Amino acid sequence: MQHQVMGYDRSATMFSPDGHILQVEYAEKTVRLGSASIGIKTKDGVVIIADKGYKDELIVPESADKIYEIDEHIMASAAGILSDARILINQTRIIAQQHKVTYDSPIDVESVIREISDIKQQYTQHPGVRPFGVALMIAGKNGAECKLYTSDITGNYFEYNAIAIGENDEKIKEELRREYRKTMTTKEAIKLGVDIFKRILGAKFDIQRFNIAHIDNQEGKLKKLNKEEISMYK
């Protein structure tokens, strides 16, 4: 409260006396208000299970997907302000296509997450702008294997074997630490992700709330599960 009175939360470029950028911390709280996504790296590839959250019944379900294609070998999900995510996703799609045209080869996954993180970091350093209120999860095939990354509000990014972003992310990560195994198959990883959401959401759980997609090490191409395939995991 004292920091608010003194105005340290009015700028994304002003440090408080105890070394915090309050606008960044507020943006991190916004991320945790968004519905969660789980990413799991498997022996076969990589999987993302994304909760779309409650949507009005009048909305066409396909227009509210939370797993985005960046290139045919890279996918993304987000938690927080999804309109912020759309801007970053569109920018990285352009970068991926430019790389393909220039070098006649697909862009690697770390280059994508680095570009996103660089943009996000800039928005914590310039006056007159606010930080992006979104965390992004990027997964895709990189050489012979698949990779999984997340980027936070500040522009930091890390590679993971399994990770969650959004609402209840700490609870979900505790479940992943307890149950994740590097030898899991794609189907086992999807079942694990869905089971974790069942425990976390309780009575609110509805399998139709979810998008599920995976990329295999062999084919290296994004595949989204349809309603019937998702229903098998309920």
Instruction: Look at the chain and report how many structural domains it folds into.
Output: 1
CA 154 to chain centre: 15
Percent of the chain surpassing pLDDT 70: 97
CA 230 to chain centre: 19
Question: 12-65: per-residue pLDDT in tens?
Answer: 778 888 888 888 888 999 999 999 999 999 999 999 999 998 777 788 877 788
The CATH number assigned to the domain holding 154 equals 3.60.20.10
What pLDDT score does 1 carry?
53
Question: 171-197: per-residue pLDDT in tens?
Answer: 999 999 999 999 999 999 999 999 999
Give the structural domain span for 35: 2-231
Q: What are the two backbone dihedrals, phi and then psi, of residue 123, each rounded to the nearest 5 degrees?
A: -80, 5
What pLDDT score does 63 carry?
78
Alpha-carbon torsion angle 192, 194, 200, 202, nearest 10:
-130
Across all residues in the chain, what is the average pLDDT? 91
Going by pLDDT thresholds of 50, 70 and 90, the confidence category of residue 3 is: low
Average pLDDT on 80-105 reads: 95
The one-letter amino acid code at 87 reads I
> How would you list the strands of the sheet with 210-216, edge to edge?
162-165, 37-41, 45-51, 210-216, 222-224
What pLDDT score does 143 carry?
85
Given a cut of 80, whether residue 224 has pLDDT beyond it is yes
Q: Do residues 148 and 39 make contact, with C-beta atoms less than 8 angstroms apart? A: yes
Given a cut of 50, whether residue 5 has pLDDT beyond it is no
Rounded to 5°, angle at Cα 118 from 144 and 136: 65
Given a cut of 60, whether residue 4 has pLDDT beyond it is no
Question: 123-134: per-residue pLDDT in tens?
Answer: 988 878 889 999
